[in-house]
Structure 1
Amino acid sequence: MRNLWLRGKFHLSALVILVPLPFLPAYFADKPLPHVAEIHRQVVAGPFSLGLVTEDQPPDRGAWGERIKEYTVTFRPGDMDTIRGVFLRVGKPRSLRTLGALAEGGAYEQHADVMLPDELSGSEDLWLTVETWNGTLHQAVVPLREILGGSGK
């Protein structure tokens, strides 16, 4: 009986390895990537020309139920040496401590998750603040309805 079990265990393990083989070609086949339309906007904040990009989809819900929209900020090649940080916020920042979401990422493309109010009236603005290494702030305002994407509700 013991010999039968040892021999059967070997064949069972071989069977477990061989069963997925017919499905491997479909798993490794080239599949097209899903294409999501994007909204592009060129923004000028002081001497800096920045690209603002987001997906044309409604905002997502965050872990605590807040509405969040992800924005990508792109820079010109020569600007990254002078830019210390880029902040995005819905509504005008009241002080330096409330500049908004800090964009983070690579040298020429950074991402920021901006929190949105639950109810939008349609007159909100997205404020983009660029801080240089010497502490100078440059701001640009974009109407939120132009760069929100999706239904906006």
Structure 2
Amino acid sequence: MRKLWQRGKFHLSALMMLVPLPFLPDYFSPKPIFVPPEIRRDVAVGPFPVTLATYDEAPGRMPTGERMKEYRIHIRPADIDHVRGVFLRVGKPRSLRTAGALAFGNPYEREADVTVPDELAGTEELWVTMEDWSGGVHQASLPLGEIFGGKR
């Protein structure tokens, strides 16, 4: 009986090495297995044309209780050296100090997590504020409903 168990244990461990083989092509493929649909909008923020993108899903609730929505900002390669900072905010900012969430990450595709109010009236706007290296501030807005996605 003991010899049978030792041989069975060996064959079982060899079988466990073969189980992941059918999943390897998906693991090494460049496309993600599941990606929700994306919402993209082009906006001209002063002299800088940018593309805002987000996934078509509802904002997530953070441990602090705030609802957050992630946006990606695509900047043209020709404009990257001119842009100092990109800020996103729901509602018009009063000044550069209250410009909103600072976008971070790769210069070509920056990300910003924007706080979304719990109650939406449907007239809110997403404001994009860009600061260039000469100190100029450029702003643009678009209705939040156009680039919100998911359930409200």
Which consecutive unaligned segments of at least 5 residues does structure 1 have? Answer: 1-9
Structure 2 matches for 1:3-152, cutoff 5 A?
Answer: 17-30=13-26, 33-151=33-151
Q: TM-score, normalised by structure 2?
A: 0.85
SS of match in other structure, 1:50? strand
SS in structure 2 at match of 1:122: coil
Distance 1:137 1:37 in 2: 32
User: What TM-score do you get using the length of structure 1 for normalisation?
Assistant: 0.85
Deviations 1:4-32 (A, max 9, x none): xxxxxx98985774351231213424266
- RMSD of aligned C-alpha atoms? 2.4
Q: Which amino acid aligns with 1:117?
A: P
Q: Unaligned 5+ residue runs, structure 2?
A: 1-5
Aligned residues: 147
Larger Rg, first or second structure (1 or 2): 1
What is the deviation of 1:80? Answer: 0.6
> What amino acid does structure 2 have at the position aligned with 1:21?
M
Distance 1:39 1:24 in 2: 34
Out of 57-66 and 107-116, give the one that drifted further. 57-66
The residue type paired with residue 121 of structure 1 is: A
State the 1:34 CA deviation: 0.9
Q: Indicate the residue corresponding to 1:4 in structure 2.
A: none
